[in-house]
Homo-oligomer: A and B are copies of this chain.
C-alpha cells in the first residue's frame, strides 16, 4: 500500500492574535488554548497515528524552534528562504515526497488549527485517502457552525461515495447575507486541507503552473544533496510567485470536476483571532487561560491574557486585554479584527521590534 505523507505548512504571521503571535514566534509555535501543547505539536500528534512520514515546511527563521518543539527527523523539516504562501510550500513538499517515497498519498494540514474530535478527523481522512484514488484533489470540508464571513465556502455537488461528494466550486469569503444562504444550502467551510497522490498533485501543477512545477521538481530531484539543494534553492526560490493552492489548483480542478469533498463535523477552528480563541476557551462572561490573575466586572465577553501580573477589567463589553510581556494590547473583539492596520500604526510609531 502507498505511504501516507502528511505535509504541514507552518507559516502565517497570525497578526490577528498579536501580541501573543509575533513575527519571531508566530501563532503555531504557541499554546494559545492552554492545552499544554503548542498548535504545531497538537497538529503533529493528530497526524502521527495516520502518517508514515511528516514533512513540515516553515520559514528559515522558525526552523530551529520547530525542531525543538516536535520530535521529527530534521531531514523532514523544509525551510523556506522567504515566504511564498501555500502553493510553493505544499508543491515543494509534494515534489520531495514523490522523489523520496514514490507513489505516496499526501495530505496538507495547517500547523495552527485545532480539532476537538480526533475520531471524526480520522474518519474523514480515511475517506479522503480513498477518494484520492478517484479524484485529483480531495478536501475535508467543515460543517459550518454559523454563517461565518471569515472563511471561504465549498459548494458540494453529487455524491461519489457514502461520505464523499464532488465539489462544484470553492467560493471567496462571503458577505453576511451570502454566508447565510451558503449555510442554508449546505455549503461547507474551506479549512485548506488537501489530500491527493503526490503524482496527481505534481502533474496538476505541471498543467496549471508549469514554470513553478518545473522549478520545484528540479529542487526536489537534488533535495537530499545539500550543496546542490542550496544552490538550486538560492537560484530558483526567489523568483517563484507568491500564490495559494486554492487559486492555483483547487478552483480550476473543481471547475474541471476533479475535486471531491468529505464533510466533517469535528470541532474545528483556525483560531483566526481573539473571538475564535475566546470561543475555544469558553466562558461567555470571561475567556482567559489564567482566571486566577483576572478580575473582570461589568465586562461580558471579555478576553484576557494576563502575563506575570494580574489584570483588572471593568465596564468594557467584549474587552480584549493581552499582556504580551514587552507590550500591552487593549481593544475589543470587534477592534481586534483591525489588528493588521493597528500593527501598521505600531510600525509607523517606530516600534517594528514589537511586531
Chain B residues near A19: list those with CB within 8 A: 312
Q: Which of A131-163 contact B (CB under 8 A)?
A: none
Contact across chains for B335 and A316 when beta carbons are under 8 A apart: yes
Q: Which of A158-197 contact B (CB under 8 A)?
A: none
On A, residues with C-beta under 8 Å from B are 19, 295, 297-298, 306, 309-316, 319, 321, 323, 325-332, 334-336, 338-339, 341-342, 345-346, 349, 351, 354
Contact across chains for B316 and A316 when beta carbons are under 8 A apart: yes
C-alpha spacing A341/B326, complex, angstroms? 30
Q: From DSSP, what is the main secondary structure of chain A's interface residues?
A: mixed
C-alpha spacing A326/B334, complex, angstroms? 28
Known contacts A295-B349, A295-B351; is A342 also within 8 Å of B330 by CB? no
Known contacts A297-B345, A309-B326; is A338 also within 8 Å of B316 by CB? no
C-alpha spacing A310/B322, complex, angstroms? 12
Known contacts A295-B345, A316-B316, A346-B295; is A330 also within 8 Å of B334 by CB? no
Contact across chains for A312 and B297 when beta carbons are under 8 A apart: no
Listed by A's residue number, 25 A-B pairs whose Cβ atoms lie within 8 Å are: A295-B345, A295-B349, A295-B351, A297-B341, A297-B342, A298-B335, A298-B338, A309-B327, A309-B328, A310-B351, A310-B354, A311-B327, A311-B329, A312-B330, A312-B346, A313-B330, A314-B329, A315-B331, A315-B332, A316-B316, A316-B319, A316-B332, A316-B335, A319-B330, A328-B328
CB distance from A339 to the nearest CB of B (A): 8
C-alpha spacing A140/B351, complex, angstroms? 48
Chain B residues near A341: list those with CB within 8 A: 297
